[in-house]
């Protein structure tokens, strides 16, 4: 299957879901996903870096609130987010997948949990830097996404 076409289909599906759910997406909707040419494309899973089975590279990254293990955060006053590696091994397959997205400038989706089981989605975002020393990636958000995230987060309790 063609990853690029699946990504575009996922972005279009997310547009429709945002309209239906007024920009706050239930996890169960994201976990169920959508059908693409007879294949189920899920947008989230058990891991923060998510690659649906039919795809070669990750489709999404997810941050959750009250997570002591990973400290993903927006940069101060800029359009970037710092997303922690999965584990501490830079060569873990999930981290390699994000690195491959960075090298190819391939966009993905960022989900940020705003309350248990509820997420806002930002897309397309891109990985622009691999911070090996901090075990994290720098993710670029555009102005529209940043404003939307800050607005939604302000309404539901802020960014942690």
Q: What pTM, to 2 d.p., does this model score?
A: 0.86
pLDDT of residue 135: 96
The pLDDT tens digits of the residues spanning 100-129 come to 999 999 999 999 999 999 999 999 999 999
More confident residue, 158 or 2: 2
Q: What is the mean pLDDT of residues 34-46?
A: 98
Q: Are 126 and 140 in contact (CB under 8 A)?
A: yes
Domains and CATH numbers, the chain: 3-146 (2.30.280)
Classified as helix, coil or strand, 102 is helix
pLDDT band at residue 157 under the 50/70/90 scheme: very low
Phi-psi region of 41 (alpha: psi -120 to 50; beta: other; left: phi over 0): beta
């Amino acid at each position: 299957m063609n990853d690029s076409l699946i990504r575009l289909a996922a972005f279009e599906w997310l547009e429709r879901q945002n309209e239906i759910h007024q920009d706050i997406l239930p996890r169960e909707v994201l976990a169920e996903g959508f059908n693409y040419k007879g294949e189920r494309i899920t947008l989230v899973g058990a891991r923060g870096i998510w690659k649906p089975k039919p795809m070669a590279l990750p489709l999404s990254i997810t941050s959750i609130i009250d997570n002591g293990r990973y400290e993903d955060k927006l940069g101060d006053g800029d359009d970037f987010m710092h997303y922690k590696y999965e584990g501490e091994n830079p060569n873990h397959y999930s981290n390699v997948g994000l690195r491959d997205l960075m090298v190819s400038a391939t966009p993905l989706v960022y989900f940020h949990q705003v309350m248990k089981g509820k997420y806002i989605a930002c897309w397309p975002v891109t990985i622009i830097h691999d911070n090996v020393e901090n075990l994290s990636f720098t993710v670029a958000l555009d102005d529209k996404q940043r404003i939307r995230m800050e607005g939604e987060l302000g309404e539901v309790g802020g960014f942690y």
